[in-house]
Amino acid sequence: MTTSSLELPPAAARSAAAPGAAAAHATWRDHTKSGPPRRRGFLDWSLLYLFSFDVELDLERQETLGRFPDGARINLYSRQDLSRVYNVGRESTVPGDGRPAISGKIKWGGDQAVLREDDIGSCNIRVSIQTDDRAVIHMTYRLFGYLGPGGVERVLSGKGGDRFGTEDHPFDVPIVTSPRFQTTDLKYAWINDLQGIGFGRLQVIRNRFRRNTQDIYALT
């Protein structure tokens, strides 16, 4: 490897490697130092759309455990009759992959949320999906959502003194999640090997978590 190859990649390669574009593959390596060679270019990456889901939370079963050293804890559960999984394009296969698309309902969903004092909601969520062809897929993920200034206190106080979301104008919290999947059904076993990423919204209405909707992709 010549000395010039240790320099930064050309500007064209760097701009091509911007997120959202097909990344330039890195071949610039510095072998002059001890230890592993250092990359000097971005790795290729893309996202593969898997499915979307909507969850309506069960307000009757919301359990507030109280304040703990790491924050306030709330247990939340989904409503089976109003929670579903679907493909936004109503496709029957995963785009570009040919595997069966995932659609069905959410049989069970639970969240052990920790609302931290820095107004971050940290959640540990478990969901059981029953597909239309009766396969069961278990999905787990963590998420961090910023509730806005004073957001945790507003949710905990549970009072409607201010308008922290109404039925007509819910307060939307953008969320990003990192789901993993488990199933024993051979038709969907391919999903076990994927690390997912979810982009979604958590809706707060009258200071209570009410709904969650997400688009789930796989990191590829």
Partner 1 sequence: MNTAMSTPLDTLRLPKPVPWGDRSELLPKKMRYALSLDAEAEGGPYLVVRPSSDNALRHLYDETVVTMPEGLRCDVPRAKIISGDGELASPFDSSSPNLRLGISAELDDGNILNIGCEGVMTFEGGPFAIRSMPAHGVLSGSAFIATTHDTVSATYRWLTRRQLFGFGTVEARESSGVRLLTFSFDLYTATAA
**Residue from 2, 3, 4, 34 that binds partner 1 (CB under 8 A)?**
34
User: In terms of CB distance, is 63 or 184 closer to partner 1?
Assistant: 184
Q: What angle do CA 2, 3, 5 make, to 5 degrees?
A: 70
Q: How far is the CB of 123 from partner 1 (least distance, A)?
A: 12
Q: How far is the CB of 95 from partner 1 (least distance, A)?
A: 11
- Return the range that interacts with partner 1 (CB under 8 A); candidates 29-37, 57-65, 68-76, 93-101: 29-37
Place of tokens 């978590």: 209
Among 194, 209, 219, 213, which Cα is nearest to 75's?
209
The whole-angstrom separation of Cα 208 and Cα 211 is 9
The whole-angstrom separation of Cα 100 and Cα 52 is 14
What is the token pair recorded at 78? 């989904």
**Residue from 1, 5, 8, 132 that binds partner 1 (CB under 8 A)?**
8
If one asks whether residue 175 binds partner 1 (CB under 8 A), the answer comes out as: yes
DSSP β-bridge partners for residue 86: 52
Q: Which residues contact 197 (CB under 8 A, 6 or more apart)?
A: 47, 176, 177, 178, 179, 216, 217, 218, 219
Q: How far is the CB of 128 from partner 1 (least distance, A)?
A: 19
**Residue from 2, 3, 20, 98 that binds partner 1 (CB under 8 A)?**
20
- List of residues contacting partner 1 (CB under 8 A): 8, 14, 18-20, 33-36, 38-45, 47, 49, 52, 54, 84, 86, 88-90, 118, 120, 142-144, 146, 148-150, 153-154, 161-166, 169-172, 174-176, 178, 180, 192-195, 197, 199-201, 203, 211, 213-215, 219-220
